[in-house]
Amino acid sequence: MSILVNKNSRVVVQGITGSEGTFHATQMLEYGTNIVAGVTPGKGGQSTIDGKVPVFNSVEEAKIETDANVSIIFVPPPFAAEAIIEASDAGIELAVCITEGVPVQDMVKAKRIIDQNNMRLLGPNCPGIITVDECKLGIMPGFICQKGNVGVVSKSGTLTYEAIGQLGNVGLGQTTAIGIGGDPIIGTSMIDVLELFENDPETKGVVMIGEIGGQMENDAARWAKKNMTKPIVGFIAGQTAPPGRRMGHAGAIVSGGDDTAEAKMRILTENGIAVCESVADIGEKMKKALNN
């Protein structure tokens, strides 16, 4: 079992002929991801990556010809939301948008449409998703992962990698690792991912990495207390951030209420989540939680 993607996922890469798209599509193919098509308007009929991937003018054409069901988007910010909508209108089930800097007003429109079409979106501004030894979508370094029984969900790309590394240091592998993105409007929440991990029989514990700003981590902690049977280890980034300062992600703005790191850590603890003060503690805390 895995969540969202596996070796049978049929992937289309939007923006595959751009430098980022080509580079990361090559890495994904080498990992074993089943890329069946690429999309670049005006370049349909060509092939790319040593002739391995056919290129189409639209996602609709790619889906008709290859039966793709997952899309990954490497499209510049001004056009990324339209690429998300295009995937949704074509009947794609899951889209992963790596693009950083997508205008918020564009995402408001895109979110409304993908919700109507019932397409799941990861991102934007996220590192993607990896189901270990099966499918890698995005920019995560696959070599740091090892197969195991811990799920990872994170707002932060680099902290996702660090959490995976810390788990590996204590001999714990992963089922699926997901970066949901840190923008104000994203497609998938922490609660959404926690529910998927709860229903995955191979996942025995979950690492949840949040950050200052917003209420998503607090909501997830309260939901988990009522609905999760599996242990969760949490970390909140931005513990030294002053109120009102934006830290990295566009959504990480502290108003001074219960969206500070201190408040979130308290709320997570109150709801039964083992909270780490340092990323370096994640592996040991997860190992202890699984052994209890």
Of 231, 234, 229, the C-alpha closest to 218 is 234
- Please say whether the beta carbons of 122 and 128 come within 8 A: yes
Please state, in angstroms and rounded to a whole number, the distance separating the CA atoms of residues 270 and 188: 24
24 flagged as catalytic? no
- Please say whether the beta carbons of 201 and 241 come within 8 A: no
| Residues linked to residue 129 through DSSP beta bridges, in sequence order | 137, 178
Q: C-alpha angle with apex 253: 249 to 256, nearest 5 degrees?
A: 155
Q: Is 213 left (phi over 0), alpha (psi -120 to 50) or beta?
A: left
Residue 218, C-beta contacts closer than 8 angstroms, at least 6 positions apart = 258, 259, 263, 264, 267, 268
Classify residue 87 by its DSSP letter. H
Sheet strands side by side (includes 274-276) = 135-138, 128-131, 174-179, 147-154, 205-211, 232-237, 274-276
- Please say whether the beta carbons of 216 and 161 come within 8 A: no
Q: What Rg value do the Cα atoms of the chain yield, rounded?
A: 19
- Catalytic residue of the set 24, 230, 249, 264: 249
Residue 172, C-beta contacts closer than 8 angstroms, at least 6 positions apart = 148, 149, 150, 283, 286, 287, 290
Active site residue ranges: 249
